[in-house]
Amino acid sequence: MWITFAGIAVVALVVTGAPWSRRRHRPCDALANCIEDLPRCDPDRLGVEDMEAESNFAEQPALGGRAPGHLGLGAAGELLFASRIALYGYQVYRPLADDRGVDLVVDVGEGRHAMVQVKSVHPGGYIFMRKSTFALKPWVVVGLVVFDKNHEVWPRLFLIPATSWSMPVSPLVDHDYEGKRSAPEYGLSIRKNWEQELDQWSATQAHIEAVLAAARKTVSRIDIGKIPI
């Protein structure tokens, strides 16, 4: 009986002419609903996550095609920051999921880590972090990558501790949006004098080591307090 069902499944896939890797992610409940000449699943039956997944799939470039600018910019920023930190001897990891506002995880020693949210932007732009996923803690930092508009000049990198938003001073901002639909956020404007305004957070070796050392010390104190007796 098992062999019969398996045979039917294989035949169905051959008839549709579609690869299994694509079909397995359809939100349809029955194998028959995955066949092209049958009606698609009712959108009202789809969950929010399914609808978002289909939307994200539609935005992906064709195999071998060039990615849209904002996707390429974000990916390049993460790779640049990961390589900069790795060059100074740190182990850098990328999480499997990116729904917690964490793009890079840096091992700061003894099993402790710093969480880096990377933001890529052009001069004149604005970045923000949702307060729901951006804790103002020393082990949480923003890796800011400012690209030249024509991408002819090497981008500038800045490492900003989340605690800088505890009492934000321009160009850092804090928006609660009370009574509005927008979610509360912390932000930063890349203004005309952005190089001078951001220079204190320039991602030099000394600054990166100081920020990660502060993250390690703070995490250490918290860990000691949580050790069961």
Task: Tell whether 52 and 97 lie within a shared domain.
Answer: no
In the chain, what is the greatest distance between 2 CA atoms, to the nearest angstrom? 73
Task: Tell whether 23 and 77 lie within a shared domain.
Answer: no
| Confidence class for position 8, pLDDT limits 50, 70, 90 | very low
> What is residue 152's predicted lDDT score, i.e. its pLDDT?
85
| Confidence class for position 223, pLDDT limits 50, 70, 90 | very low
Question: Is residue 188 in some structural domain?
Answer: yes
pTM here is 0.67
Question: Is residue 101 in some structural domain?
Answer: yes
pLDDT at 68 over 80: no
| Confidence class for position 61, pLDDT limits 50, 70, 90 | low
Residue 8: give the domain boundaries.
Answer: 2-59
Question: Is residue 35 in some structural domain?
Answer: yes
pLDDT at 87 over 80: yes
Mean pLDDT is lowest, of 95-99, 120-124, 125-129, 172-176, for 95-99
Task: Tell whether 148 and 95 lie within a shared domain.
Answer: yes
Taking the CB of residue 144, how many other CB atoms lie within 10 A of it?
A: 25
Backbone angles phi, psi at 59, to 5 degrees: -80, -15
Q: How far is CA 198 from CA 62, 67, 122, in A?
A: 37, 29, 14
- DSSP, collapsed to helix, strand or coil, labels residue 219 as helix
Question: Is residue 121 in some structural domain?
Answer: yes
Question: Is residue 64 in some structural domain?
Answer: no
pLDDT at 130 over 90: yes
